[in-house]
Amino acid sequence: MVVLFAENRAMFETHDQAELPSFFQLDEGARSWGYIAQTSNQEWFYVTHETSDTETRWLQQFMIPLPQFVLEFASRDAPEAFIREIQLVSPPWLNERGSWLMEPIRAIHKVGERFCYELADGHIYPVELAGLARQTLWSKDG
């Protein structure tokens, strides 16, 4: 079993029975899984990263457990390799809509010591931080 930790708590874990045979692996040292489990009731990010050269464009998706990790990933953006889209995967306690949602975000902000997320549709999570002065840490618009 492999467990990925976020701030000293398990976020995603894999199980031995879900590991796929090695003929599915494309990169040296990579391991593939048929499924993973989420062990935390926290938000996470589904990030689409684009890499291109003069002839080809590749899209790869990453599941990232913390906004700090997303920001670190975004800091490495370059014209030939950059974040195409970030979607917030939010639990019901954060989105206040009764179920888990996956929604595109426009920006990641900080209000005091807390992160908040501006969605593409204009909603702010968590809602109690809407309208407060905030520092923009990442924006889809650059």
pLDDT band for 7, please (50, 70, 90 cuts): low
Query: What number is the average pLDDT over the span 105-110?
Result: 98
State yes or no: pLDDT of 113 exceeds 80: yes
Which strands make up the sheet holding 9-13, listed edge to edge?
3-6, 9-13, 37-38
Render pLDDT for 46-98 as a digit per residue (tens, 0 to 9).
999 999 998 999 999 999 999 999 999 999 999 999 999 999 999 999 999 99
Render pLDDT for 25-44 as a digit per residue (tens, 0 to 9).
566 777 788 888 888 899 99
pTM: predicted TM-score of the whole model, two decimal places: 0.84
* Residue spans of beta strands (DSSP E) within the chain: 3-6, 9-13, 37-38, 44-52, 57-64, 81-90, 101-111, 114-119, 124-125, 135-139
